[in-house]
Amino acid sequence: MNWSLKLLKVKGIDIKVHLTFVLILIWAAYRWSVSTGEGMQGAVFGIVATLLLFLSVTLHELGHSLQAQKFGVKVRDITLMPMRGLAQMEEIPEDPNKELRIAIAGPLVNFGIAALLIGIGALLDARALLSIEELQASLGSVSWSGLLAYLTSTNIILGLFNLIPAFPMDGGRVLRALLARKMDHAKATRIAAQIGQGLALLMGLWGFMSGSWTLVLIAIFVWMGAGQESQEAQVKH
């Protein structure tokens, strides 16, 4: 059984949403209604904020996909899942310059969205973006400035998080592409994977010591992603 629902088609790419995505919306409605203390209004706000966040994730994946299409790579679909978006494409060419541009296109979209929102905030005189204090005060409030603060900060975080130089994040690919300019692809992958696993280890230790289990989970995810990437490259080699 196929658990994905097709929403629309952009440039020949099917945009789908995985049915488990509904769980995230329910969770968002619950969490925002409790944390804001605004009941139903908070719940609706949580759903709208989450949908707009996933619109940003979709645009991030489209950034990769459209750049890949420019290089003649076929992109089948983009599926939105509870934790992330996933673009299914044919093998990315082993050309460092192309890989670099495809990998960096996603985070650049997030920074672009954040810049646009900051511009809109400036035009509207939104207090939320004046200072870190104002931003923190606006975050989590059921208001337009709360929404602006939420979307601006999540887009910046999304862009930065994806640039962490470790597979399966975009930053891992950026790092490999930069290394592959100086050495062959397999060796570049191996070194990038090792750097990624080193980072995962540090992240895991930090999470463990600070009691942040989310960080430990991310570290495990990054560790496995790096191992898989390095194995695939070795098999191909």
Q: Which residues bind Zn ion (CB under 5 A)?
A: 106, 162, 170
Compare residues 56 and 153 and give the one whose CB is closer to Zn ion. 56
Taking every pair of C-alpha atoms in the chain, what is the biggest distance, in angstroms? Answer: 57
Q: Which of 38, 61, 99, 134 is catalytic?
A: 61
For residue 227, the minimal CB distance to Zn ion (Å) is 20
Q: Looking at beta carbons, which residue is closest to Zn ion?
A: 106
In degrees and rounded to multiples of 5, residue 98 shows phi and psi of -70, -45
Compare residues 32 and 173 and give the one whose CB is closer to Zn ion. 173
For residue 72, the minimal CB distance to Zn ion (Å) is 20
* Catalytic residue status for 133: no
For residue 142, the minimal CB distance to Zn ion (Å) is 30
In this structure, what is the dihedral angle of CA atoms 169, 67, 181, 175, given to the nearest 10 degrees?
-10
Compare residues 42 and 172 and give the one whose CB is closer to Zn ion. 172
For residue 215, what is the DSSP state?
Answer: H
Q: 33 is written with which tokens?
A: 């209604």
Compare residues 16 and 129 and give the one whose CB is closer to Zn ion. 16
The whole-angstrom separation of Cα 81 and Cα 31 is 19
For residue 224, the minimal CB distance to Zn ion (Å) is 18
Compare residues 60 and 135 and give the one whose CB is closer to Zn ion. 60
For residue 130, the minimal CB distance to Zn ion (Å) is 30
- 105 neighbors 61 (Cβ within 8 angstroms): no
C-alpha count within 13 angstroms, C-beta hemisphere, residue 149: 22
Three-state SS for 9?
strand
Q: 225 is written with which tokens?
A: 């992603």
Three-state SS for 32?
helix
Q: Which residues of 203-222 are buried (b: 16+ CB within 10 A; e: fewer)?
A: bbeebeeeeeeebbebbebb
Q: Would you please indicate which residues are annotated as catalytic (active-site) residues?
A: 61
